[in-house]
Chain A
């Protein structure tokens, strides 16, 4: 087995025992990145020098007998909307193409304190708006399982990096499915934690009441390990909960689901879902039952029927407000104008891509005078109904099992000019953000054409430990996800502009 095939927990174990040096681990992953990133284009920035320097420093510290952290020697990739001091953070946008943050996001500080090594910054849909990573200003990330297909989005680069074996662990952010859907498309696991579990300090804001940072991995144990490193109270984020976090790795001790009640959503049968994704869901339900869980039919009519419309009012509204800060004055791009007003208009016209413009226009419209009550306020009320509906369902079940995505990864260019159809691919993920709940996309195998299959588990707020336990039981039956072979030669290549 090659070093780049190891899960994070095995790397840490070997580093702690002195069987592997951090430098060896980092060099191996960098070599794989150098070979394959040009065709996948998962990373926008590779921090090779910094990573090697840090690896050497960690090796010295271990040699001096210093306590290695939870993620000792683990290479990690960050979505490029998390601030890294001294390393450019683009958000996939021309607006921030050359922006170098003066500080680290709290998750970056946590990862480094745990002994992880950051390899670089991953491609993403501009300002995290999109479901295919085709809306990056810097080019297209290829799905490692089929280079002509999209990796999902918006954290497509992070998911593709883990699927391609560039790193065992990556962080993404999820506002409506942006961790879970790319995890599903790239055949890795992805976890969107409860709103407020992980600090958002230093995460460039898209929709502040929905955004949450979470990990990608090829092993459920690695998701738990990552959460143990990054889930902590943070006075710098007023929405980050102060509750003590359990040890998530303890969830891996579970091998039975006896006493657990798993809900299956009735309304989902009315959706056009890929037959193989339907089958894998039935299979997963059977696995839960065999492990001792009781299956319960549940109904989420408001959530499934109205979640999408509600989300596409609220998220753009919040985005239009959050993105008002890009004015060419304090940071980022400036397009000169004769007056300040002209400078604002030109800067924003030149710096934002088409999808971002669509969303901030929609968001401004639904907030504007005369429309606020009809759209924004109504959507807020619908959101509350969704929160209440989930609460009611969770009084009778411990977790809900449903698809992550209704479809397998689509081809590059297939939906890029049809935003509404693209939005529909998030129909099963975005209600989870509206309700602030944790959701986990688990890779369950491969379709006949070789593309990855997945299911989604949704839990009660703050139930990540139990959710990870359930996922671990499923993984023990389905097997851990494979690294994409990267042998398919097609004329498609990542990095090309659409």
Chain B
């Protein structure tokens, strides 16, 4: 069972078209207006599935599950050489010398 009202509210609400636009903006994803209803439908369908988690008591459970599966591995910090700088730069859509060329950033409108 969830203990906080905020969580309960979050789980009970449905997602609006504006919410889809907000999330798409957060992730820098262009979505066309005609795609929005289908994403909205998917959101609401999948959030309904997530509601099943409400039935499980997880109070006091440590959320870091992977601690039990794998311990953090440490190794010595030994410098190595990496000779692929040029090839890596060549993979860029637009390379200019030793740089990745992008549209102007400084002086953009506020």
A residues contacting B by CB (< 8 A) are 99-103, 195-196, 209, 235, 238-242, 302, 305-306, 308-310, 312-313, 320, 324, 327-334, 336-346, 348-350, 352, 354, 357-358, 360-362, 364-365, 368, 370-371, 373-375, 377-388, 391, 419-420, 434-436, 461
Contacts and interface: CB of A to CB of B under 8 A. Distances in A.
B31 A357 contact: yes
Contacts, number: 182
A436 B42 CA distance: 28
B52 A419 contact: no
Nearest to B8: A374
Interface in B22-51: 23-24, 26-32, 35, 39, 42-43, 45-46, 49-50
A437 B43 CA distance: 30
Nearest to B7: A374
Interface residues of B, number: 57
Contact of B68 (A357, A365, A387): A387
Contacts of B45: 419-420
21 contacts: A240-B73, A305-B52, A329-B92, A334-B93, A338-B103, A339-B105, A340-B104, A349-B32, A361-B24, A364-B26, A370-B10, A373-B10, A379-B53, A380-B64, A381-B58, A381-B63, A384-B61, A384-B62, A384-B68, A387-B69, A419-B45
B69 A370 contact: no
A337 to B, nearest CB: 6
A360 B69 contact: no
Nearest to A345: B30
A188 to B, nearest CB: 28
A330 B69 contact: no
Contact of B104 (A339, A368, A387): A339
Given A374-B7, A387-B65, A419-B42, A306 B56 contact: yes
A241 B104 contact: no
Contacts of A379: 53
Contact of A436 (B70, B73, B105): B70
Nearest to B50: A309
A239 B91 contact: no
Given A381-B61, A382-B56, A384-B63, A309 B49 contact: yes
B81 interface: no
A196 B20 CA distance: 36
Given A306-B53, A384-B64, A330 B100 contact: yes
Interface in B54-110: 56, 58, 61-66, 68-70, 72-73, 75, 84, 87-88, 90-94, 100, 102-105, 108
Contacts of A313: 50
A88 B26 CA distance: 30
Given A328-B93, A329-B93, 5 more contacts: A330-B91, A333-B93, A340-B103, A371-B10, A420-B45
